[in-house]
Amino acid sequence: MGMSTESQFHVLAVDDSIIDRKLIERLLKTSSYQVTTVDSGTKALEFLGLHEDDESNPETPSVSPNNHQEVEVNLIITDYCMPGMTGYDLLRKIKESSSLRDIPVVIMSSENVPSRISRCLEEGAEEFFLKPVRLSDVNRLRPHMMKTKLKDPKQENEENKEESGKPESRSQEEKEEQQQHHQQQQLHHLPQQQHSNSNKRKALEEGLSPDRTRPRYNGLTTVV
Amino acid sequence: MDVMSQLQRQWLEHSAFLRKEGYLDDQFEQLQKLQDESSPDFVIEVVSIFFDDSEKLLSNMARALEQKVVDFKQVDAHVHQFKGSSASIGAMRVKNVCIEFRNYCEAQNLEECLRCTRKLQFEYSVLKNQLEYLFRLEQQIRAAGG
């Protein structure tokens, strides 16, 4: 499955909240991604090598004549509600840029507003995550990043099947198993017992919560 | 029961208590899951940032409400931020007060907004004490465990 390529994926996270930046950074690092966090859309565009009046300014030091970004970014995840440039504004600017439009963009928001969600998806966002973002959300990012790497279509289809095959609802048996894990996990969270790595990893893999009632949105869903 | 087991039991009981009483929700557990050898102080780090951020927000809120002409949109912006950060760490009670508070901001009801500020201050203080106790236990456990 080419797991070794994971460490090469670089995600740019944009959020004006320092706590959420810390959280998303940890979530992404836990998933073995390289992370850069910025606190505004403007800084994000700067990092990506795109400036407001880029096209006509040959003297901008960080942009090569071909408008290539300095650092490769495989995915951008941004908060929606930010002062100044919103996540939506940022999304639009990225999709309007010939050099950046192929980078997958994911939007996060603490508010569940269907019209907001559909607007973002229509503008080209790959996914829309409701905050607080969880590991199970971050697990959905990989296929989008895989698409940007050169690979044969067949392998890509297989991976997409794997990801979308994960059931959102959990069977009763699995729920019970998770209850038991919950008990074990409590002990393993205690600072002294750091050897519980294998259980923790298993817990991470079972990060999908059984009682998730919030809607999941991705590019395949048409939201009215 | 040796000291370690006693401390661990206290930690478990206090954690369960905080969940049961609604001080903390699922999200706090999500934070704990993200803590491991590579990031052994993650929870404390995030919560410390939360404490600093919260105190700033509470003082901004209070100041905004003291103005001769209250800018409710500004107050709401602070509350919205506080709601977000409390949700991010799993501070359920604090978050719920924020939700209530925002309704009063929208209604531009000064008296209720002031009441909410007091309530928020209270819930936040209680939560802070509870979490600091939990972290102290963790420190003791680490010390006992070597």
* Closest residue in A to B88 (Cα–Cα): A132
Q: B46, A200: Cβ pair inside 8 Å?
A: no
Mean pLDDT of chain B: 95
Share of chain A above pLDDT 70, in %: 54
Interface predicted TM-score (ipTM) of this complex, two decimals: 0.92
Residue A171 touches partner B, C-beta closer than 8 Å: no
Summarize the confidence of residues A103-122 as an average pLDDT. Answer: 96
Considering only CA atoms, which of B11, B127, B109 is closest in space to residue B58?
A: B127
Structural contact between residues B124 and B1, judged by C-beta atoms closer than 8 angstroms: no
pTM: 0.75
DSSP single-letter state for residue A85 = S
- Strand (E) or helix (H) holding A80: none
Considering only CA atoms, which of A43, A42, A45, A37 is closest in space to residue A18?
A: A37
A196 band by pLDDT with thresholds 50, 70 and 90:
very low
What is the distance between the alpha carbons of residues A93 and A90, in angstroms, rounded to a whole number?
Answer: 5
Segment A27-75, tens digit of pLDDT: 999 999 999 999 999 999 999 998 655 444 445 454 444 444 457 999 9
Considering only CA atoms, which of B98, B99, B94, B100 is closest in space to residue B124?
A: B94
Segment A65-107, tens digit of pLDDT: 444 445 799 999 999 999 999 999 999 999 999 999 999 999 9
pLDDT for res B138 = 94
Summarize the confidence of residues A131-157 as an average pLDDT. Answer: 80
pLDDT for res A194 = 43
Q: Which residues of A touch B30 (CB under 8 A)?
A: 132, 134-135
pLDDT at A16 over 80: yes
Summarize the confidence of residues B21-35 as an average pLDDT. Answer: 96
pLDDT for res B20 = 97
pLDDT for res A214 = 53
Summarize the confidence of residues B98-123 as an average pLDDT. Answer: 97
Segment A176-190, tens digit of pLDDT: 555 555 555 555 555
Q: A191, B142: Cβ pair inside 8 Å?
A: yes
Mutation for B interface: A15, A18, A190, most B CBs within 10 A: A190
Q: What own/partner pairs with CB < 8 Å and gap ≥ 24 does A144-149 have?
A: A144/A75, A144/A104, A144/A106, A145/A9, A145/A11, A145/A74, A145/A75, A145/A104, A147/A104, A148/A74, A148/A75, A148/A102, A148/A103, A148/A104, A149/A5, A149/A74
| Beta pairing, strands A127-130 & A217-218 | antiparallel
Share of chain B above pLDDT 90, in %: 95
Which residues of chain B approach chain A closer than 8 Å at the C-beta? 4, 8, 11-12, 15, 26-27, 29-40, 42, 45-46, 49-50, 53, 80-81, 83-85, 87-90, 138, 141-142, 144-145
